[in-house]
Structure 1
Amino acid sequence: MKIPLSWLRDYIDITLPPAQLIERLTLAGLEVASTRVLGLPIPEGVRVKAEERGPVWDRDKIFVAQILSTEKHPNADKLKLPTVTWGEGTQKLLVTGAPNINVGDKGQKVVLALSGSVLFDGHAAERKLSELKPTTIRGLPSDAMVCSLLELGVSENKEDHTGIILLEDDAPVGMPLADFMGDTVIEVDVLPNTARCLAMIGVAREVAAITGQKLKPLAAGMQTTDEAIAGQVNVQIEDPTLSARYAAALIKNIKLGPAPGWMQRRLLYAGMRPISNIVDITNFVMLEWGQPLHAFDYDILVQRAGGKTPTIIVRPARDGEILVTLDKQERKLSPEHLVIADTKGPIALAGVMGGLETEVTEKTKNILLESASFNFVSIRRTFRHFDLPSEASARFSRGIHPETVKPAVERAADLMRQYAGGSVCKGLVDCYPAPRPPQVVDFKIAEMDRLLGFKIEPAEAIRILQALEYDVAPPPANAGGSPYKVTVPTHRLDVQEGTADLVEDIVRIYGYDRVPTTLLSEPLPKQQANEPIVFEEKVRDILVDCGLQEVVCYALTMPEKETLLLKPQGEYANPGDVPYVTLKNPISSERVVMRQSVLASVLEIAESNLRNTDDVRLFEIGFAYVPLAGRASDGPQLPDEPRRLAIVMTGNRGQEFWEGGGAKEKQLLDFFELKGVIEALTQDLHLKDTTYQPSKAAHLHPGKSATLRAGDRRIGDFGVLHPKVAQAYNLGERTILVAEFDVEALQAATPVRFSYTPVPRFPAALRDIAVVVDEAIPAEQIESEIRIAGGELLGDVKLFDLYRGNQIPAGTKSLAYALSYQAGDRTLADKEIDKAHRKIEDRLKNVLKAVIRGKE
């Protein structure tokens, strides 16, 4: 929300310097994100970003001026020669090509910059300041210029350089422009709990509470004619839960044209472009009160009603209804969308965008002005579905109290009377089926002290509440401990938690910087570790040490993509057949269900990253959301939320490895690189009895995947992603290594306590063994038999070579292992080593029918 201080002063006298005001607002919970200074020197203590700094309008060189006459340039058809004055006894002939100045014009108020002024160069490709110097244009000298919004630094839009700025008729000729238009604009970040500050009046209320100043009287009511609105329009609300209040005013005989200059400047400074008096007035009141408005062409409504009294109906759209909105787009509607309709059909998307047929145009004479309070969830759903965010939907989607509806529409109607020449019909058509009762909170001083941990004087607390426009009724006399009855103002929709919200308001205005530093009066209670979180952090540390990067993905996804991973063989006929937890109010059309696979989310991130790099090593620990079958239909349908670990790796290895063919292939990550990461994880977690079995997961490559088990617990699957799945995720033909593990199972298999073995004092003896076995025998089984036969003397067992080829029988493979023999109390003799080695050879021959290479 951009807040011009000149506009804010309409509602409250600001006595603080800008720097102090910014600091006080931030300390009170209204964070100032940036500051922009227009035409003035930057106030002391105010920080302005370099890209937002503009020219300082020299009080001796830039003035409000008036055109005395305009003549044609003798040497150029598109140039004009206006003669201007900026005070008694001053007169200058200028050269300009502004299209909104014509030959014969006189009397217009303009901005004059004399030679030596520093302004933005309107013709430069980049925004840069330059000094205005005397020049000759088509044979005529020119040492001054009339200025555009772009040159003054008010606008950054190149379109605002096509014409000069024309000031209002009562602009004082000769006044330095800095005094007439100079301003400081602060921009605040409006969070959900400060939505009241999406209005100038809301910000003024905050400043009043902070500074102790009183708000100026607000403009109220509207001057009307004797012609009543009653009988000229009807309003119906089908469902008060979707629209609490709808009020309409009727303004007749309006004249469409530009808004007054002061209003246009305020809209510009607040970040909105002026369009016309009607549109600008609705935008002005929206920024002033925080209440969006919409204007309909009343005569079109009468025409749609067949010449009878039109009826405005606020209702959900009928399935399949069509509305062409102001952007000329055809919108197909459903009952999830709230619409403004008449008896013929929809005429506007409620709170989002009006319809094209009933828009206000140059031909419009009579206007029906809408002001309403809509269900914020419904508005949020509609504008997200159609991707139509706007200033209006931003306010409706945060909630607007019905009591704001009436003063806002009356204010706008009266402005249209003043600046559009309209006649306002007497009264409003105000449909308010269920007025909200005031919210009253029982407020106890003792409870405030308990929540804060320190004391604020009761009189000070009550003063702050009253400054924030709470109505405070003291407890009855002689009623010790009775609460104050505090009535919440209607603009404070964020007050939901009673006393806690009131205490928050009190302390933020009191000043967080005034909260005393206190020591704990009692010892800290014993802290119980959250074991799942501690375990997850340990897993994160291990994976980061392995060179992986953590990502945090959306828990929302699209069924079309995730089902390709869950069932790549097409078991489901279409994505709609997969049971999902579906959102009623999705944030976008691409994120409508809760994910069932964390791996699917990481694959989406990997696809995005692979557009810019060839190397990806990612992991995420997060929740999946799986609907539970068999629940009673009348019971809570809560999903199971298992924690999952997902890993995605692809790219270059960076060093040669034992397995692989040519040099290029050796540089690529493969199944064994991922298996190494898994082994590092299981070893650092001290898992016991880990085994690897062939995986049956459909999304993995057959023969290049495995299932990890720890004892009788299934931890998860890992391996090479199936090529069809990789293509479905737009990952190309590269090898994608993936894993998805059950974190609960992994944690359950991790021992809480484990023993350490001392570093051996005696040297180890190394022996190699190469065996030829049937192709179907997994390497894990061979290693297991080696360890069984090797007994206590056998230490490390490492596979260092794998061979398939013509030198061994077809259907077999050769595996070579490096064995380490070692004893903790002595150096092993050759006889002991030979004996242990023979036992291994014998067991491999007998159990696996292996052939020991070199001993055929």
Structure 2
Amino acid sequence: VRRAKKGETLLTLDDVERKLDSEMLMITDSAGLIAIAGVIGGGDSEVTETTTNVLLESANFEFLNNRRTSQVLKLRTEASERFGKQIDPEGTLQAALRAALLMVENGSGTLEKIAGDLYPRPKETVSLELDPFYVERLLGIKISADQISEILNSLEFKVSGKNILKITVPSHRMDIRIPADLVEEIIRIYGYENLPSTLLDDELPPQHSNQKLEGTERVRDILVASGMDEIITYSMMDPMDEARLRLENDVDFAKFVPLKNPLTQERSHLRRSLLPGALHTAHANLRFLDKVVMFEVGSVFHPQKGKKLPEEPQRLSMLMCGLRNSQSWLEETEGTYDFFDLKGVLEHFLSALHIEGIEWKKSRELPCHPGRCVQILVNGKELGFSGELHPKIRSAFELPEQAVCIAELDLDLIIKLGIENHQMDFISNFTPIFEDLAFVMDSSLPVEAITPVILQTGKPLLRKATLFDVYEGEQVDEGKRSLAYSLTFQANDRTLTDEEVGNIRNKIVKRLQHEFRATLRA
């Protein structure tokens, strides 16, 4: 056994020429390299149909070196997994003999009774002392010294002494190093069910709530109740997935947190967004399902200049794709999910958290389809975005040719703004008054700018303003459109008069005329 020389190579059993470094242990003979110690054998030592003589070599290696070699070579084998978890060196010769006997029994071999054993530094025997009173102090019950001896002897420990037990640990029990380890073995055999139940003999310490944890659980509960499935994806990703979301061919690696020792190239950096994981999950599931409706909560990682650790904001992603209704004998509305299905889920979600001041602002940002994307604002602060995935990005992730509705929101801001103990609004006993008003205005004006102005002008007696009709045609001028609103007026302490409602209506009409040059349609 020796260290590899820098630049040496070895053709291994999997027919791969592997480059070695000076830290790797090698099994050799006079002819050269035979195997990478504890990882994989060399091609020259492979057993074939013409092999007649087999020399068995059994060894034990320092487990950290095996782990390092396996990771550097990016090669995980059964041998590296076993040696990487530490193996009892005392079993080396026994293992070789057992393998030889199996070859005799199953391979019609003949065993030559010749063996050599090189053991330059025998493993030290671990001996511990155990006081039965120590066992009683840890467990809270009294177990006699005879019971302790019987239990440990059944586990192949050698026990001597009476008051203070002297215990020799078997070589294969490398997890036993202190008396507390012995107590664990004793109670494991004695039976945890035999421990009596006891109550705390003290007052509970002051309880402190964890807003982040409780808020995240509340978000999960609302979305699951909305019919969505939670997914959990890897925090590690391929930076090219992020580039695909931006329709780019190059990656700016300075924006990512790299892993020093990645398992695969597809898991080489920490994610900056939850969407790639959601898109890959959708791709995997849509092969077998006719729809996916899912969400994920998790951290993303942004490197901070001049700081060792990255920023780890929490995000919430949602994805809806596929048939709106599963196949059934019932006559239901056909079609696939679109932007408004996801918008409905988002509106219910934000309403359940009692977050007010929501603004839906048209956007054209990737990864969304141009014209089918909105930026979501809360009191002027950006909460996230929602929309339909861009067709080119959909193709890059090999998704079916149908609308893929996505959203990604700032979960930290949601938890901060969400109101847990919401004060319910007073429910009036008085009859509401309903009116419909239609306004003619420029077709370029967004509805999202009109509705808040109507509600603000009619406060506090205007309770609701719902757009129920949009008309463009012969009855309005070119470049104009008609927006029809259903208005609900109500007071908490009285029935409103026609005069009161008329005053509010006039205020709304005048303000829309002033700000948007809107006219009341007859």
**TM-score of the pair, normalised by structure 2:** 0.83
Match of 2:117 among 424, 428, 431: 428
- The aligned counterpart of 2:26 is 340
| Conservation of the 8 A alpha-carbon contact between 2:10 and 2:42 | no
Q: Which has the larger displacement, 676-685 or 800-809? A: 800-809
In structure 1, how many angstroms separate the alpha carbons of the residues matched to 2:11 and 2:129? 48
- The aligned counterpart of 2:86 is 399
- The aligned counterpart of 2:57 is 369
| Conservation of the 8 A alpha-carbon contact between 1:449 and 1:455 | yes
In structure 2, how many angstroms separate the alpha carbons of the residues matched to 1:495 and 1:401? 13
| Conservation of the 8 A alpha-carbon contact between 1:708 and 1:714 | yes
- The aligned counterpart of 2:407 is 739
Indicate whether 1:646 and 2:335 are aligned. Answer: no
What whole-Å deviation, never above 9, does each CA across 1:381-406 have from its counterpart, x for those lacking one? Answer: 8499877654x455334331333334
2:513 partner SS? helix
- Check 1:575–1:788 CA distance in 2 against 1; reply closer, same or farther (3 A cut): closer
What whole-Å deviation, never above 9, does each CA across 1:744-800 have from its counterpart, x for those lacking one? Answer: 111111235432222210121122233344455332221111012112110012222
- Check 1:415–1:835 CA distance in 2 against 1; reply closer, same or farther (3 A cut): closer
- Check 1:318–1:592 CA distance in 2 against 1; reply closer, same or farther (3 A cut): farther
In structure 2, how many angstroms separate the alpha carbons of the residues matched to 1:840 and 1:735? 38
Match of 1:569 among 247, 260, 283: 247
Amino acid at match of 1:489: P
1:330 deviation in Å? Answer: 2.9
In structure 2, how many angstroms separate the alpha carbons of the residues matched to 1:807 and 1:612? 50
What whole-Å deviation, never above 9, does each CA across 1:570-625 have from its counterpart, x for those lacking one? Answer: 2x724766523416252x56444433322221221111121123322101122223
Match of 2:292 among 606, 612, 616: 616
- The aligned counterpart of 1:791 is 459
Amino acid at match of 2:63: N
- Check 1:644–1:796 CA distance in 2 against 1; reply closer, same or farther (3 A cut): same
Amino acid at match of 2:436: D
- Check 1:367–1:545 CA distance in 2 against 1; reply closer, same or farther (3 A cut): closer
1:546 deviation in Å? Answer: 2.0
Indicate whether 1:729 and 2:397 are aligned. Answer: yes
- Check 1:556–1:458 CA distance in 2 against 1; reply closer, same or farther (3 A cut): farther
| Conservation of the 8 A alpha-carbon contact between 1:336 and 1:378 | no
What whole-Å deviation, never above 9, does each CA across 1:494-547 have from its counterpart, x for those lacking one? Answer: 447x45433221111112343334455455555444332222222122212222
- Check 1:485–1:577 CA distance in 2 against 1; reply closer, same or farther (3 A cut): farther
In structure 2, how many angstroms separate the alpha carbons of the residues matched to 1:829 and 1:425? 111
In structure 2, how many angstroms separate the alpha carbons of the residues matched to 1:415 and 1:613? 48
After TM superposition, the structure 1 = structure 2 runs for residues 397-546 of structure 1, keeping only pairs within 5 Å, are 397-409=84-96, 420-423=109-112, 427-430=116-119, 445=132, 448-470=135-157, 488-495=169-176, 498-522=178-202, 524-525=204-205, 527-546=207-226
| Conservation of the 8 A alpha-carbon contact between 1:369 and 1:413 | no
1:336 deviation in Å? Answer: 11
| Conservation of the 8 A alpha-carbon contact between 1:338 and 1:379 | no
| Conservation of the 8 A alpha-carbon contact between 1:774 and 1:811 | yes
Match of 1:604 among 254, 269, 280: 280
| Stretches of structure 2 lacking an aligned partner (at least 5 in a row) | 327-331
| Conservation of the 8 A alpha-carbon contact between 2:24 and 2:65 | no
In structure 2, how many angstroms separate the alpha carbons of the residues matched to 1:734 and 1:746? 30
In structure 2, how many angstroms separate the alpha carbons of the residues matched to 1:334 and 1:774? 73
| Conservation of the 8 A alpha-carbon contact between 2:439 and 2:483 | yes
Amino acid at match of 1:613: L
| Stretches of structure 1 lacking an aligned partner (at least 5 in a row) | 1-234, 239-314, 478-482, 632-636, 656-663
| Conservation of the 8 A alpha-carbon contact between 1:351 and 1:374 | no
| Conservation of the 8 A alpha-carbon contact between 1:316 and 1:339 | no
- The aligned counterpart of 1:556 is 236
- Check 1:426–1:322 CA distance in 2 against 1; reply closer, same or farther (3 A cut): closer
Q: Which has the larger displacement, 732-741 or 527-536? A: 527-536
| Conservation of the 8 A alpha-carbon contact between 2:156 and 2:170 | yes
After TM superposition, the structure 1 = structure 2 runs for residues 748-827 of structure 1, keeping only pairs within 5 Å, are 748-803=416-471, 808=476, 812-827=480-495
| Conservation of the 8 A alpha-carbon contact between 1:381 and 1:585 | no
Amino acid at match of 1:722: H
What whole-Å deviation, never above 9, does each CA across 1:229-283 have from its counterpart, x for those lacking one? Answer: xxxxxx22x3xxxxxxxxxxxxxxxxxxxxxxxxxxxxxxxxxxxxxxxxxxxxx
In structure 2, how many angstroms separate the alpha carbons of the residues matched to 1:646 and 1:377? 41
In structure 2, how many angstroms separate the alpha carbons of the residues matched to 1:779 and 1:370? 78
In structure 1, how many angstroms separate the alpha carbons of the residues matched to 2:474 and 2:90? 89
In structure 2, how many angstroms separate the alpha carbons of the residues matched to 1:808 and 1:334? 80
In structure 2, how many angstroms separate the alpha carbons of the residues matched to 1:563 and 1:439? 56
1:741 deviation in Å? Answer: 1.6
| Structure with more contact order per residue of length (Cα contacts < 8 Å, sep ≥ 6) | 1
2:426 partner SS? coil
Greater C-alpha Rg? 1
- Check 1:503–1:331 CA distance in 2 against 1; reply closer, same or farther (3 A cut): farther
**TM-score of the pair, normalised by structure 1:** 0.53
- The aligned counterpart of 2:498 is 830
In structure 1, how many angstroms separate the alpha carbons of the residues matched to 2:149 and 2:513? 91
2:220 partner SS? helix
Amino acid at match of 2:256: P
In structure 1, how many angstroms separate the alpha carbons of the residues matched to 2:142 and 2:214? 38
1:844 deviation in Å? Answer: 1.0
- Check 1:685–1:469 CA distance in 2 against 1; reply closer, same or farther (3 A cut): same
Indicate whether 1:675 and 2:343 are aligned. Answer: yes
- Check 1:685–1:446 CA distance in 2 against 1; reply closer, same or farther (3 A cut): farther
| Conservation of the 8 A alpha-carbon contact between 2:255 and 2:302 | no
Amino acid at match of 2:16: E
1:603 partner SS? helix
1:423 deviation in Å? Answer: 4.1
1:713 deviation in Å? Answer: 3.9
In structure 2, how many angstroms separate the alpha carbons of the residues matched to 1:718 and 1:317? 54
In structure 1, how many angstroms separate the alpha carbons of the residues matched to 2:273 and 2:126? 45
In structure 1, how many angstroms separate the alpha carbons of the residues matched to 2:346 and 2:375? 11
In structure 2, how many angstroms separate the alpha carbons of the residues matched to 1:441 and 1:627? 49
- The aligned counterpart of 1:579 is 256
1:437 deviation in Å? Answer: 5.0
Superposition RMSD in Å: 3.9
In structure 2, how many angstroms separate the alpha carbons of the residues matched to 1:843 and 1:650? 41
What whole-Å deviation, never above 9, does each CA across 1:613-638 have from its counterpart, x for those lacking one? Answer: 3322101122223333322xxxxx43
Indicate whether 1:595 and 2:284 are aligned. Answer: no
In structure 1, how many angstroms separate the alpha carbons of the residues matched to 2:368 and 2:91? 59
After TM superposition, the structure 1 = structure 2 runs for residues 150-169 of structure 1, keeping only pairs within 5 Å, are none
Amino acid at match of 1:827: T
Amino acid at match of 1:642: P
1:427 deviation in Å? Answer: 3.3
| Conservation of the 8 A alpha-carbon contact between 1:317 and 1:335 | yes
